[in-house]
Amino acid sequence: MKGAIFDLDGVLVDTAKYHYQAWKRLANSVGVEFSLDDNEHLKGVSRAESLELILKKGNIEKSAEEKQALMDVKNEWYLELAAEMNPDEALPGAIPFLESCKSKGIKIALGSSSKNAPMILERLGITHLFDAIVDGNVVSKSKPDPTVFLTAAEKLGLTPSECIVFEDAISGVQAAKTGGFYCVGIGTKEVLPLADEIATTLGEYSVR
């Protein structure tokens, strides 16, 4: 492995729960039920496409302006939840794993769908560890499209076969595999059957 590409929410930091809570609140506010299973299919998906999935579930039509307002309110709720975040909310083993990659000369990139990624990395105090950052502000095609990871590999000057992708989302594992990457799924085999291997946390992966 010459390069390691990390998803952010649910891999490096425990923000997946905040996205879930904010999407659930938003879905319920327009009269749509939203379960943990529904949430698995939203993980890794951009803000705009997540909203489309929720509206589709409820058979709801909205204008472009109304959709923008719904996305804005979801993000406000998400930011309220994430406001108190500090380095303690890094997931177990995540920061030591990034540091050990760095010390071994492995290049590190972020491959996230989130537009809030730069702020979250700052809160965690880990921005300086990344050689490349590709996020929802840079790439508009949402996972499972592989563009986010292909762009990250390109920014590192590496090919997909030289990199490993670490992902917790069904859409993200799909994106990595479509892009030709080896993919470590952070979670369970049941949820992420397409991953090449599974680890519960990055801490568990690093001690193998």
Task: Reply yes or no on whether 9 is catalytic.
Answer: yes
Annotated active-site residue 168? The verdict is no
Residues 186, 190, 193: CA angle, nearest 5 degrees: 75
Q: Give the one residue of 50, 147, 151, 174 binding ligand BG6; rule: CB under 6 A.
A: 50
Number of residues interacting with ligand BG6: please give it, by CB under 6 A. 18
List the one residue from 3, 44, 146, 187 that touches ligand BG6 (CB under 6 A): 44
Q: Is 55 in the site for ligand BG6 (CB under 6 A)?
A: no
* Least gap, CB of 15 to ligand BG6 (angstroms): 8
- Edge-to-edge order in the sheet of strand 132-134: 132-134, 107-111, 3-6, 163-167, 182-186, 197-199
Which residue among 7, 135, 145, 168 is the active-site one? Answer: 7
Cα separations in angstroms, 16 against 2, 57, 90: 28, 21, 12
DSSP E strands in 7-116: the ranges are 107-111
- In Å, what is the CA distance from 105 to each residue of 99, 110, 111, 127, 199? 10, 16, 19, 17, 22
Site for ligand BG6 in 5-34 (CB under 6 A): 8-9, 16, 19
Which member of 3, 4, 9, 13 binds Mg ion (CB under 5 A)? 9
Q: Binding marks (x or -) toward ligand BG6, 79..108, rule CB under 6 A?
A: ------------------------------
What tokens were used for 154? Answer: 């390109």
Map the footprint of Mg ion across residues 115-174, applying CB under 5 A: 168-169
AA identity, residue 202 = L
In this structure, what token pair is assigned to residue 130?
Answer: 């990344």
CB of 178 to ligand BG6, least distance (A): 17
Q: Which residues make Cβ contacts (< 8 Å) with residue 160, sequence separation at least 6?
A: 149, 150, 153, 179, 180, 181
Q: Which of 91, 156, 169, 183 binds ligand BG6 (CB under 6 A)?
A: 169
From candidates 89, 101, 113, 185, binder to ligand BG6 by CB under 6 A: 113
Helices and strands (H, E) in the chain, number of each type: 9, 6
Sites of contact with ligand BG6 (CB under 6 A): 8-9, 16, 19, 42-44, 46-47, 50, 75, 112-116, 136, 169
Q: Would you name the residues annotated as active-site residues? A: 7, 9
Sites of contact with Mg ion (CB under 5 A): 7, 9-10, 168-169
